Amino acid sequence: MRAAGGRALPAADTRADGERNMSRARVVRSQPRPGRPAGLGSLAVIIPTYNTGATVPSVLASLIASAGDLISEILVIDNASTDGTAQTVARIVAEDPAMSGKVVVTSNPRNLGYGGSIKRGLAETTGRFDLVAVLHSDDQCDAGATLLTLLSGMAEDPATDVVLASRFTRGADLERYSALRRAGNGFFNTLTRLVSGYPMSDAGTAIMVARTSVLAGLPTESLTSGYRFHPQLNLLLYGDGRLTIREVPLEWHDASLGNRFSLTVYGLRLLKMLTVFGWRRRVRRWSLADAVIAAEPPPD
Ligand SMILES: Nc1nc2c(ncn2[C@@H]2O[C@H](COP(=O)(O)OP(=O)(O)O)[C@@H](O)[C@H]2O)c(=O)[nH]1
Ligand SMILES: [Mg+2]
Protein backbone atom coordinates (compact mmCIF):
# COMPACT_ATOMS: atom_id res chain seq x y z
CA MET A 1 0.00 0.00 0.00
CA ARG A 2 1.32 3.43 -0.85
CA ALA A 3 1.09 6.41 1.43
CA ALA A 4 -1.40 8.89 0.07
CA GLY A 5 0.25 11.68 -1.85
CA GLY A 6 -1.65 13.63 -4.47
CA ARG A 7 -2.39 17.25 -4.60
CA ALA A 8 -3.41 19.37 -1.67
CA LEU A 9 -5.97 22.05 -2.38
CA PRO A 10 -5.16 25.71 -1.94
CA ALA A 11 -7.27 27.36 0.78
CA ALA A 12 -11.01 27.52 0.12
CA ASP A 13 -12.82 30.81 0.04
CA THR A 14 -13.78 32.34 3.36
CA ARG A 15 -17.20 33.84 3.92
CA ALA A 16 -15.88 37.30 3.02
CA ASP A 17 -14.26 35.98 -0.13
CA GLY A 18 -17.38 34.02 -0.99
CA GLU A 19 -18.90 37.17 -2.34
CA ARG A 20 -16.22 37.49 -4.95
CA ASN A 21 -15.46 33.84 -5.54
CA MET A 22 -18.41 32.36 -7.41
CA SER A 23 -16.22 30.13 -9.57
CA ARG A 24 -17.02 26.47 -10.19
CA ALA A 25 -15.31 23.22 -10.99
CA ARG A 26 -14.11 22.32 -14.45
CA VAL A 27 -16.46 19.59 -15.63
CA VAL A 28 -15.51 17.14 -18.36
CA ARG A 29 -17.93 14.57 -19.76
CA SER A 30 -16.28 11.50 -21.14
CA GLN A 31 -16.94 7.96 -22.22
CA PRO A 32 -13.66 6.28 -21.33
CA ARG A 33 -12.77 3.11 -23.15
CA PRO A 34 -13.20 0.30 -20.65
CA GLY A 35 -9.78 -0.75 -19.45
CA ARG A 36 -7.74 -1.76 -16.45
CA PRO A 37 -5.76 1.37 -15.67
CA ALA A 38 -2.58 0.82 -13.72
CA GLY A 39 -0.43 3.34 -11.89
CA LEU A 40 -3.21 5.27 -10.20
CA GLY A 41 -1.84 4.54 -6.71
CA SER A 42 -3.53 2.81 -3.81
CA LEU A 43 -7.32 2.49 -3.85
CA ALA A 44 -9.88 1.91 -1.12
CA VAL A 45 -13.48 1.06 -1.95
CA ILE A 46 -16.16 1.99 0.59
CA ILE A 47 -19.31 -0.12 0.57
CA PRO A 48 -22.07 0.91 3.00
CA THR A 49 -24.44 -1.92 3.86
CA TYR A 50 -27.83 -2.07 5.48
CA ASN A 51 -29.75 -5.34 5.30
CA THR A 52 -28.11 -6.31 2.04
CA GLY A 53 -26.83 -9.72 3.11
CA ALA A 54 -28.49 -11.19 0.01
CA THR A 55 -26.69 -8.99 -2.51
CA VAL A 56 -23.38 -7.87 -1.01
CA PRO A 57 -21.60 -11.22 -1.62
CA SER A 58 -22.03 -10.85 -5.39
CA VAL A 59 -20.94 -7.20 -5.22
CA LEU A 60 -17.71 -8.24 -3.49
CA ALA A 61 -17.19 -11.15 -5.88
CA SER A 62 -17.64 -8.84 -8.87
CA LEU A 63 -15.13 -6.32 -7.50
CA ILE A 64 -12.52 -8.98 -6.76
CA ALA A 65 -12.99 -10.71 -10.12
CA SER A 66 -12.84 -7.55 -12.24
CA ALA A 67 -10.51 -5.30 -10.30
CA GLY A 68 -9.08 -7.20 -7.33
CA ASP A 69 -5.49 -6.36 -8.29
CA LEU A 70 -6.28 -2.64 -8.49
CA ILE A 71 -7.93 -2.49 -5.05
CA SER A 72 -5.89 -2.13 -1.86
CA GLU A 73 -8.81 -2.44 0.54
CA ILE A 74 -12.59 -2.88 0.43
CA LEU A 75 -14.15 -1.36 3.49
CA VAL A 76 -17.63 -2.71 4.19
CA ILE A 77 -19.37 -0.44 6.68
CA ASP A 78 -22.42 -2.10 8.14
CA ASN A 79 -25.05 0.26 9.46
CA ALA A 80 -26.51 -1.93 12.24
CA SER A 81 -28.22 -4.33 9.83
CA THR A 82 -30.78 -6.68 11.34
CA ASP A 83 -30.37 -9.42 8.72
CA GLY A 84 -26.84 -10.43 9.71
CA THR A 85 -25.16 -8.65 6.76
CA ALA A 86 -21.91 -8.10 8.69
CA GLN A 87 -21.73 -11.77 9.71
CA THR A 88 -22.48 -12.90 6.15
CA VAL A 89 -19.65 -10.76 4.82
CA ALA A 90 -17.25 -11.90 7.56
CA ARG A 91 -18.05 -15.53 6.68
CA ILE A 92 -17.51 -15.24 2.92
CA VAL A 93 -14.32 -13.26 3.48
CA ALA A 94 -12.94 -15.93 5.83
CA GLU A 95 -13.74 -18.63 3.26
CA ASP A 96 -12.22 -16.88 0.24
CA PRO A 97 -8.45 -16.30 0.16
CA ALA A 98 -8.88 -13.63 -2.55
CA MET A 99 -10.97 -11.60 -0.11
CA SER A 100 -9.13 -12.26 3.13
CA GLY A 101 -6.71 -9.45 3.83
CA LYS A 102 -8.47 -7.21 1.32
CA VAL A 103 -12.04 -6.94 2.59
CA VAL A 104 -12.45 -5.34 6.00
CA VAL A 105 -15.85 -5.35 7.72
CA THR A 106 -16.67 -2.75 10.28
CA SER A 107 -19.98 -2.38 12.11
CA ASN A 108 -21.46 0.89 13.25
CA PRO A 109 -22.55 0.66 16.91
CA ARG A 110 -25.96 1.91 15.80
CA ASN A 111 -27.45 3.10 12.52
CA LEU A 112 -25.49 6.29 11.77
CA GLY A 113 -27.53 7.16 8.68
CA TYR A 114 -26.39 6.65 5.10
CA GLY A 115 -24.18 9.76 5.19
CA GLY A 116 -22.88 8.75 8.61
CA SER A 117 -21.51 5.53 7.11
CA ILE A 118 -19.88 7.32 4.20
CA LYS A 119 -18.31 9.88 6.53
CA ARG A 120 -16.91 7.07 8.62
CA GLY A 121 -15.49 5.44 5.49
CA LEU A 122 -13.88 8.69 4.32
CA ALA A 123 -12.35 9.29 7.76
CA GLU A 124 -10.88 5.79 7.77
CA THR A 125 -9.39 5.97 4.27
CA THR A 126 -8.13 9.56 4.06
CA GLY A 127 -4.36 9.66 4.49
CA ARG A 128 -4.03 5.89 4.01
CA PHE A 129 -4.86 5.60 0.32
CA ASP A 130 -4.46 7.73 -2.79
CA LEU A 131 -7.97 7.13 -4.09
CA VAL A 132 -11.30 6.27 -2.51
CA ALA A 133 -14.34 4.93 -4.36
CA VAL A 134 -17.93 4.71 -3.14
CA LEU A 135 -20.07 1.84 -4.42
CA HIS A 136 -23.31 0.37 -3.11
CA SER A 137 -24.09 -3.05 -1.70
CA ASP A 138 -27.33 -3.69 -3.56
CA ASP A 139 -27.40 -4.90 -7.15
CA GLN A 140 -28.26 -1.70 -9.02
CA CYS A 141 -25.11 -1.90 -11.15
CA ASP A 142 -22.29 -4.28 -11.97
CA ALA A 143 -19.84 -3.23 -9.25
CA GLY A 144 -16.67 -4.46 -10.95
CA ALA A 145 -17.45 -2.98 -14.36
CA THR A 146 -18.56 0.31 -12.77
CA LEU A 147 -15.33 0.60 -10.78
CA LEU A 148 -13.28 0.00 -13.94
CA THR A 149 -15.22 2.75 -15.74
CA LEU A 150 -14.57 5.16 -12.85
CA LEU A 151 -10.86 4.32 -12.79
CA SER A 152 -10.61 4.61 -16.58
CA GLY A 153 -12.07 8.10 -16.23
CA MET A 154 -9.48 8.96 -13.59
CA ALA A 155 -6.69 7.64 -15.83
CA GLU A 156 -7.75 9.76 -18.81
CA ASP A 157 -6.28 12.92 -17.35
CA PRO A 158 -3.98 13.23 -14.32
CA ALA A 159 -5.57 16.61 -13.51
CA THR A 160 -8.83 14.84 -12.57
CA ASP A 161 -9.78 15.14 -8.91
CA VAL A 162 -13.11 13.34 -8.85
CA VAL A 163 -14.91 10.99 -11.24
CA LEU A 164 -18.68 10.74 -10.85
CA ALA A 165 -20.75 8.02 -12.49
CA SER A 166 -23.74 9.67 -14.10
CA ARG A 167 -27.11 8.18 -14.97
CA PHE A 168 -27.85 11.10 -17.27
CA THR A 169 -24.89 11.45 -19.58
CA ARG A 170 -24.22 10.04 -23.03
CA GLY A 171 -23.66 6.31 -22.85
CA ALA A 172 -25.60 5.78 -19.60
CA ASP A 173 -28.07 2.90 -19.56
CA LEU A 174 -31.29 3.23 -17.55
CA GLU A 175 -33.37 0.74 -19.46
CA ARG A 176 -34.11 -1.30 -16.33
CA TYR A 177 -34.54 1.71 -14.03
CA SER A 178 -38.12 2.67 -13.20
CA ALA A 179 -39.70 5.52 -15.14
CA LEU A 180 -40.76 7.15 -11.85
CA ARG A 181 -37.20 7.25 -10.56
CA ARG A 182 -35.85 8.46 -13.89
CA ALA A 183 -38.41 11.27 -13.89
CA GLY A 184 -37.80 12.16 -10.23
CA ASN A 185 -34.03 12.29 -10.71
CA GLY A 186 -34.45 14.22 -13.96
CA PHE A 187 -36.61 16.80 -12.17
CA PHE A 188 -34.06 17.28 -9.38
CA ASN A 189 -31.19 17.49 -11.86
CA THR A 190 -32.93 20.34 -13.66
CA LEU A 191 -33.81 22.06 -10.39
CA THR A 192 -30.27 21.67 -9.01
CA ARG A 193 -28.78 23.11 -12.20
CA LEU A 194 -31.17 26.06 -12.06
CA VAL A 195 -30.58 26.78 -8.38
CA SER A 196 -26.82 26.26 -8.38
CA GLY A 197 -25.82 27.23 -11.91
CA TYR A 198 -23.53 24.16 -11.96
CA PRO A 199 -23.54 21.91 -15.05
CA MET A 200 -24.28 18.67 -13.15
CA SER A 201 -25.66 15.85 -15.26
CA ASP A 202 -26.57 13.71 -12.22
CA ALA A 203 -26.85 15.87 -9.11
CA GLY A 204 -27.64 12.95 -6.81
CA THR A 205 -25.17 10.33 -7.93
CA ALA A 206 -23.40 8.49 -5.13
CA ILE A 207 -21.08 6.36 -7.24
CA MET A 208 -17.67 7.95 -7.44
CA VAL A 209 -13.92 7.79 -7.10
CA ALA A 210 -11.91 10.70 -5.71
CA ARG A 211 -8.41 11.60 -4.65
CA THR A 212 -8.31 11.38 -0.86
CA SER A 213 -5.95 14.38 -0.77
CA VAL A 214 -8.69 16.46 -2.35
CA LEU A 215 -11.49 15.19 -0.10
CA ALA A 216 -9.24 15.86 2.91
CA GLY A 217 -9.39 19.56 2.04
CA LEU A 218 -13.21 19.64 2.08
CA PRO A 219 -15.52 19.80 5.12
CA THR A 220 -17.12 16.42 4.42
CA GLU A 221 -17.53 15.66 8.13
CA SER A 222 -19.88 18.65 8.39
CA LEU A 223 -22.28 17.29 5.75
CA THR A 224 -25.54 15.53 6.57
CA SER A 225 -25.54 12.02 7.96
CA GLY A 226 -28.76 11.33 6.10
CA TYR A 227 -29.59 10.26 2.57
CA ARG A 228 -28.83 13.64 1.03
CA PHE A 229 -25.12 13.26 1.70
CA HIS A 230 -24.24 12.91 -1.99
CA PRO A 231 -26.51 15.67 -3.35
CA GLN A 232 -24.86 17.88 -0.73
CA LEU A 233 -21.30 16.67 -1.43
CA ASN A 234 -21.88 17.13 -5.16
CA LEU A 235 -22.79 20.81 -4.60
CA LEU A 236 -19.54 21.19 -2.66
CA LEU A 237 -17.55 19.59 -5.50
CA TYR A 238 -19.11 21.33 -8.50
CA GLY A 239 -19.01 24.72 -6.80
CA ASP A 240 -15.28 24.46 -6.14
CA GLY A 241 -13.21 26.28 -8.77
CA ARG A 242 -10.08 24.40 -7.68
CA LEU A 243 -11.43 21.03 -8.88
CA THR A 244 -11.65 19.07 -12.11
CA ILE A 245 -14.57 16.64 -12.24
CA ARG A 246 -15.15 13.97 -14.87
CA GLU A 247 -18.57 12.50 -15.48
CA VAL A 248 -18.65 8.98 -16.89
CA PRO A 249 -21.73 6.97 -17.90
CA LEU A 250 -23.38 4.57 -15.46
CA GLU A 251 -25.49 1.50 -16.15
CA TRP A 252 -28.08 1.57 -13.38
CA HIS A 253 -31.24 -0.42 -12.70
CA ASP A 254 -33.82 -1.05 -10.01
CA ALA A 255 -32.70 -3.01 -6.96
CA SER A 256 -33.93 -6.59 -6.70
CA LEU A 257 -34.68 -6.03 -3.01
CA GLY A 258 -36.83 -3.02 -3.78
CA ASN A 259 -36.27 0.41 -2.37
CA ARG A 260 -36.70 1.06 1.28
CA PHE A 261 -37.30 4.72 1.74
CA SER A 262 -40.02 7.19 0.95
CA LEU A 263 -39.37 9.09 -2.24
CA THR A 264 -41.79 11.81 -1.10
CA VAL A 265 -39.94 12.54 2.14
CA TYR A 266 -36.61 12.38 0.31
CA GLY A 267 -37.88 14.74 -2.39
CA LEU A 268 -39.25 17.29 0.08
CA ARG A 269 -36.00 17.35 2.05
CA LEU A 270 -34.02 17.73 -1.15
CA LEU A 271 -36.24 20.64 -2.13
CA LYS A 272 -35.52 22.27 1.22
CA MET A 273 -31.79 21.67 0.82
CA LEU A 274 -31.74 23.30 -2.61
CA THR A 275 -33.83 26.25 -1.45
CA VAL A 276 -31.54 26.98 1.51
CA PHE A 277 -28.42 26.50 -0.62
CA GLY A 278 -29.68 28.78 -3.40
CA TRP A 279 -30.69 31.48 -0.91
CA ARG A 280 -27.43 31.41 1.05
CA ARG A 281 -25.07 31.05 -1.88
CA ARG A 282 -26.64 32.97 -4.74
CA VAL A 283 -28.68 35.59 -2.95
CA ARG A 284 -26.76 36.13 0.31
CA ARG A 285 -23.40 35.24 -1.29
CA TRP A 286 -22.17 33.04 1.53
CA SER A 287 -19.01 31.03 0.98
CA LEU A 288 -19.56 27.73 -0.80
CA ALA A 289 -18.82 25.60 2.27
CA ASP A 290 -21.03 27.65 4.59
CA ALA A 291 -23.94 27.62 2.14
CA VAL A 292 -23.64 23.88 1.50
CA ILE A 293 -23.46 23.02 5.21
CA ALA A 294 -26.38 25.32 6.07
CA ALA A 295 -28.45 23.51 3.45
CA GLU A 296 -28.58 20.39 5.62
CA PRO A 297 -26.43 20.52 8.74
CA PRO A 298 -25.12 17.32 10.33
CA PRO A 299 -26.70 16.05 13.55
CA ASP A 300 -25.21 17.62 16.73
N1 LIG B 1 -31.76 2.05 3.17
C2 LIG B 1 -30.59 2.24 3.81
N3 LIG B 1 -29.46 1.93 3.14
C4 LIG B 1 -28.28 2.11 3.77
C5 LIG B 1 -28.21 2.60 5.12
N6 LIG B 1 -26.91 2.64 5.48
C7 LIG B 1 -26.20 2.18 4.43
N8 LIG B 1 -27.02 1.85 3.39
C9 LIG B 1 -26.56 1.32 2.10
O10 LIG B 1 -26.54 2.43 1.21
C11 LIG B 1 -26.70 1.99 -0.14
C12 LIG B 1 -27.78 2.81 -0.82
O13 LIG B 1 -29.02 2.61 -0.20
P14 LIG B 1 -30.38 2.40 -1.03
O15 LIG B 1 -31.48 2.19 -0.06
O16 LIG B 1 -30.14 1.34 -2.05
O17 LIG B 1 -30.58 3.82 -1.73
P18 LIG B 1 -30.48 4.29 -3.27
O19 LIG B 1 -29.37 5.29 -3.28
O20 LIG B 1 -31.80 4.89 -3.58
O21 LIG B 1 -30.20 3.13 -4.15
C22 LIG B 1 -26.97 0.50 -0.07
O23 LIG B 1 -25.74 -0.16 -0.31
C24 LIG B 1 -27.43 0.31 1.37
O25 LIG B 1 -27.18 -1.00 1.82
C26 LIG B 1 -29.42 2.89 5.82
O27 LIG B 1 -29.43 3.31 6.96
N28 LIG B 1 -30.59 2.70 5.12
MG1 LIG C 1 -29.83 1.25 -4.02
Range with lowest mean pLDDT among 17-21, 67-71, 179-183, 289-293 = 17-21
pLDDT digits (tens, 9 = 90+) for 252-261: 999 987 666 6
pLDDT digits (tens, 9 = 90+) for 113-142: 999 999 999 999 999 999 999 999 999 999
Q: What is the pLDDT of residue 6?
A: 66
Instruction: Give 94 Cα–ligand 2 centroid separation in angstroms.
Output: 26
Residues with CB under 6 Å of ligand 1 are: 48-50, 52, 79, 111, 114, 117, 136-138, 140, 206, 255, 259-261
Determine which residue's CA is closest to atom 3 belonging to ligand 1.
50
pLDDT digits (tens, 9 = 90+) for 17-52: 554 567 899 999 999 988 899 899 999 999 999 999
Any domain includes 26: yes
Q: How high does pLDDT run on average in the chain?
A: 93
Domain range spanning residue 44? Answer: 4-9+20-295
Percentage of the chain beyond pLDDT 70 is 92
| Nearest-ligand number for the alpha carbon of 53 | 1
Query: Residue 9's pLDDT band (boundaries 50, 70, 90)?
Result: confident
Instruction: Give 1 Cα–ligand 1 centroid separation in angstroms.
Output: 29
Cα(132)–Cα(121) distance, rounded to whole angstroms?
9
Any domain includes 300: no
- Closest atom of ligand 1 to 51 CA is 25
Residue 289 clears pLDDT 90, i.e. is over it: yes
Q: What CATH number is associated with residue 68?
A: 3.90.550.10
Any domain includes 14: no
Contact 32, 249 (CB under 8 A): no
CA dihedral 155, 29, 67, 103 (to 10 degrees): 100
Any domain includes 234: yes
Q: Ligand 1 pocket test: which of 47, 50, 120, 185 has the largest number of ligand atoms within 8 Å of its C-beta?
A: 50
Instruction: Give 21 Cα–ligand 2 centroid separation in angstroms.
Output: 36
pLDDT digits (tens, 9 = 90+) for 150-159: 999 999 999 9
Angle, helices 229-238/288-295, rounded to nearest 10 degrees: 170
pLDDT digits (tens, 9 = 90+) for 242-251: 999 999 999 9
Cα(287)–Cα(20) distance, rounded to whole angstroms?
9
Any domain includes 99: yes
Alpha helix positions (H), 69-221: 85-95, 114-125, 143-156, 179-196, 212-215
- Closest atom of ligand 1 to 50 CA is 25
Alpha helix positions (H), the chain: 15-18, 56-67, 85-95, 114-125, 143-156, 179-196, 212-215, 229-238, 263-278, 288-295
Into how many domains does the chain fold? 1
What is the average pLDDT across 165-184?
A: 95
pLDDT digits (tens, 9 = 90+) for 195-247: 999 999 999 999 999 999 999 999 999 999 999 999 999 999 999 999 999 99
> Which residues on adjacent β-strands are paired with residue 162?
210, 245
| Nearest-ligand number for the alpha carbon of 48 | 1
Q: Ligand 1 pocket test: which of 135, 138, 207, 253 has the largest number of ligand atoms within 8 Å of its C-beta?
A: 138
Residue 2 clears pLDDT 60, i.e. is over it: no
Any domain includes 269: yes
Any domain includes 15: no
The 8-class DSSP code of residue 139 comes to: S
Any domain includes 139: yes
Q: What is the pTM for the complete model shown?
A: 0.94
Q: What is the pLDDT of residue 1?
A: 44
